[in-house]
């Protein structure tokens, strides 16, 4: 109890001292000091383009295990959209998942540069809704590389339903929307690695090799330790495929409702190597 109260008091003090940057203020000061003491390389940007609940936090932790990578947010789900000076614009915005809405990416880039340690050559960002705006990102962030991932659509639906208390219909439509934009990103972007959640979790070394083939400097990334990425067990796990356990949680009625939507998009599912589940 004392430790919790102490932590809350520290957080209150930080908000008073730095209402703008909150707990990141010390990190920003540290970054500024490093820039004065060390040379800044020509930075390369790495964007993880991954729908929510499809392993983006895990991928972020794997890539940022390299000593050459700086991540802009190292708390929670490690998303740049949840940083204090950007949360209102990017995360709390009701248009976050509206593909017709775009952000001021020049402003966002300027803010992210404060949180990144730019004395490291690679700057990593991961915000799920970026999958809708990859074209705009590519225009503003020169020298960018992309890790594009997707997941079994039924497992994706279960994650959306469980974590958001969403209906099967909502989950299915959202999953299709994500696949549509990932198909667009795969066909549009140049410097990219494309792998499914299933490939990443069942062949971790191949995932590592694909990243290194795109960016050879990241030869020190690790895929063998346990990671604290959010999962249904709320504990650190080695990289593992949780699809089947999640799909088994779907009821027959859930599958009927999901298939009513998926059956209209079989061509899109097949593009990613998936088929309807019969029951």
Return residue ranges of the chain for CATH 3.40.50.300: 40-271
- Tell me what pLDDT residue 233 has: 45
Q: What's the pLDDT at 237?
A: 54
**The model's pTM:** 0.89
Mean pLDDT in each 10-residue stretch from start to end of the chain (279 residues)? 53 59 89 91 97 95 96 94 96 96 98 97 98 98 97 98 97 98 98 96 93 97 68 56 94 97 98 92
Q: Which CATH superfamily is domain 40-271 in?
A: P-loop containing nucleotide triphosphate hydrolases (3.40.50.300)
Cα 104 from Cα 84, distance rounded (Å): 16
CB 50 within 8 A of CB 126: yes
pLDDT score recorded for residue 149: 98
Q: Which residues contact 13 (CB under 8 A, 6 or more apart)?
A: none
């Amino acid at each position: 109890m004392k430790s919790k109260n102490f932590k809350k008091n520290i957080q209150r003090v930080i908000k008073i001292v730095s209402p703008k940057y909150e707990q990141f203020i010390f990190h920003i000061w540290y970054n500024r000091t490093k820039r004065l003491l060390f040379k800044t390389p020509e930075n390369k940007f790495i964007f993880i383009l991954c729908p929510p609940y499809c392993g983006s936090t895990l991928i972020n932790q794997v890539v940022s295990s390299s000593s050459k990578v700086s991540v802009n947010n190292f708390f929670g789900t490690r998303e740049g959209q949840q940083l204090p000076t950007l949360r209102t614009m990017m995360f709390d915005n009701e248009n976050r998942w509206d593909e017709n809405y775009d952000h001021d990416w020049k402003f966002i880039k300027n803010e992210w540069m404060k949180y990144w340690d730019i004395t490291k050559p690679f700057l990593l960002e991961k915000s799920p809704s970026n999958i809708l705006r990859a074209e705009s990102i590519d225009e503003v962030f020169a020298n960018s590389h992309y890790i594009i991932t997707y997941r079994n659509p039924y497992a994706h639906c279960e994650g959306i339903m469980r974590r958001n208390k969403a209906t099967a219909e909502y989950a299915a439509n959202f999953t299709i929307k994500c696949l549509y934009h990932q198909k667009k990103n795969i066909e549009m972007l140049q410097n990219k690695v494309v792998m499914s959640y299933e490939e990443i979790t069942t062949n971790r070394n191949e995932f590592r090799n694909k990243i290194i083939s795109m960016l050879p400097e990241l030869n020190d990334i690790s895929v063998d330790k346990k990671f604290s990425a959010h999962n249904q067990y709320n504990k650190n796990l080695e990289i593992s495929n949780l699809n089947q356990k999640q799909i088994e949680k779907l009821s027959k009625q859930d599958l009927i409702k999901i298939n009513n939507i998926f059956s209209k998009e079989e061509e899109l599912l097949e593009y990613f190597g998936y088929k309807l589940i019969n029951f």
